[in-house]
Structures are given as C-alpha cells and as structure tokens.
C-alpha cells in the first residue's frame, strides 16, 4: 500500500470508532502524511477561530491551564485533609494530578507561543536587516510547525494504543488514560494555529515596514 493510500485509510479508521482500527491505521507510515495535512489545516482553522472570536484568542488556552491548575490544587489539598483528618485517602489523589498537569502544560505552551516568550535571541535578531529578521522568524515558524507535526503524530498513535489496551489511570477504576492523552494533539493543533498567526503578523509587519521583532515579556500579555 502506498503512503498516500495509507494516509487516506486513516480517515475511515477514525470514523469507525474502533480503537483497534485506529491503532492499525495510525501505525502506518502514511500517518505522517495525514498528520502533516491535519496539522496545517487544523492550524489554519484554529487561526481563523482566534481571528473571528477574539475572546477565545485571549482566554482559551490560559483558561484551560488555570482550571487544570485549580483542579490539581484541589485534589492535592483534599487528599491531605482526607488523609490526616479522616484517616482515608482517594487512591487517585496521587495519580490523576500528573495527567492534569500534562493537560495544563501543553495548553500553556500553546499560549506561550502566542506571547513569544520562548528562546528567540531577539536582542541579536533585532540588529539584523528586515529581510534577515523575516528569514529567522520564518525558520522559527517552520521549526514550531515541525514540532507540532511530530507531537500530533506520535501522541495520536500513543492515544490509540492506550485506548486499544483499555489503560486505566492507576488507582482509579473508571478513568481512562486516553481521555488525557487526546488533549495533547488538540493542544498542539492550537499551537499550530498560534504559529501561523504569528508568522502572518510578522509578514504583514515586514511588508508594511513596521517593526518586526519586538521584545517579549514573560508573564505579559498582548
């Protein structure tokens, strides 16, 4: 079977609802081609959603991150009270929070891409001519997109594997691991949208002659 045929076969496998079918389709080499298209199309759609719904653009990822953080804090706090006051302890109090932390971290990373507070050597790049600045920012976008592509592909494979094996969160009888794993490709799809939005903003600044590289502030907002 060709890579193109394997990529096309991913679509009916997803709609089949069978974790076995999805696992078999996701393990094929064509999954990389499918996820490349998915990462780009999903990123464009995410960018359009952010563009036309400013409220989501400003609050979606950080709201998810803050809510996850509060749930983690609540579980840990209640676990301490439950243990030392009531001499009992929910078995999931030490196993569920790490999964929630994973959700918090990746959505927060997506928002961080928007803020551009990652390592970017802006002091060095700002001294370059506009064409050089745009070239380095384009390289950044390509690297971020590649990162999203790899993360989406591998996390979807791992999610299908977890669902097919009916993996439960340790110490909990009714919480599946794949419920948390599936948030990883979602977060990286949103991150792809941030990457596309940033590059389009840089391109507009480059064409208009405005300042391209601006100093990012950790903990700031735009």
How confident is the prediction along the chain (222 residues), in pLDDT tens digits per residue?
A: 688 999 999 999 999 988 899 999 999 999 999 999 999 999 999 999 999 999 999 999 999 999 999 999 999 998 888 888 877 888 888 899 999 999 999 999 999 998 887 767 777 888 889 899 899 999 999 999 999 999 999 999 999 999 998 999 988 888 899 999 999 999 999 999 999 999 999 999 998 888 877 776 655 555
C-alpha distances in Å from residue 74, one per residue of 27, 82, 96: 38, 12, 12
pTM score of the predicted model: 0.90
**pLDDT at site 46:** 97
**CB under 8 Å to 142, separation ≥6 — which residues?**
none
**pLDDT at site 51:** 94
**pLDDT at site 91:** 80
In the chain, what is the greatest distance between 2 CA atoms, to the nearest angstrom?
Answer: 66
What is residue 168's three-state secondary structure? strand
What is residue 176's three-state secondary structure? strand
**pLDDT at site 121:** 75
**pLDDT at site 39:** 97
């Amino acid at each position: 079977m060709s890579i193109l045929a394997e990529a096309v076969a991913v679509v009916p496998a997803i709609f089949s609802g069978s974790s076995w079918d999805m696992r078999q389709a996701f393990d094929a080499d064509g999954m990389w081609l499918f996820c490349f298209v998915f990462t780009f199309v999903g990123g464009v759609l995410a960018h359009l959603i952010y563009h036309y719904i400013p409220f989501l653009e400003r609050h979606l990822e950080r709201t998810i991150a803050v809510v996850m953080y509060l749930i983690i804090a609540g579980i840990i706090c209640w676990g301490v009270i439950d243990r030392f006051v009531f001499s009992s302890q929910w078995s999931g109090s030490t196993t569920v929070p790490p999964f929630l932390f994973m959700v918090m971290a990746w959505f927060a990373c997506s928002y961080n891409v928007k803020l551009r507070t990652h390592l970017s050597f802006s002091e060095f790049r700002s001294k370059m001519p506009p064409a050089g600045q745009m070239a380095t920012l384009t390289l950044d976008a390509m690297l971020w997109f590649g990162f999203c592509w790899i993360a989406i592909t591998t996390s979807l494979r791992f999610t299908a594997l977890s669902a097919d094996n009916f993996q439960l969160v340790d110490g909990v009888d009714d919480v599946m691991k794949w419920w948390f794993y599936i948030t990883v490709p979602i977060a990286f799809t949103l991150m792809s949208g941030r990457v596309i939005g940033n590059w389009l903003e840089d391109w507009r600044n480059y064409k208009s002659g405005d300042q391209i590289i601006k100093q990012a502030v950790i903990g700031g907002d735009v």
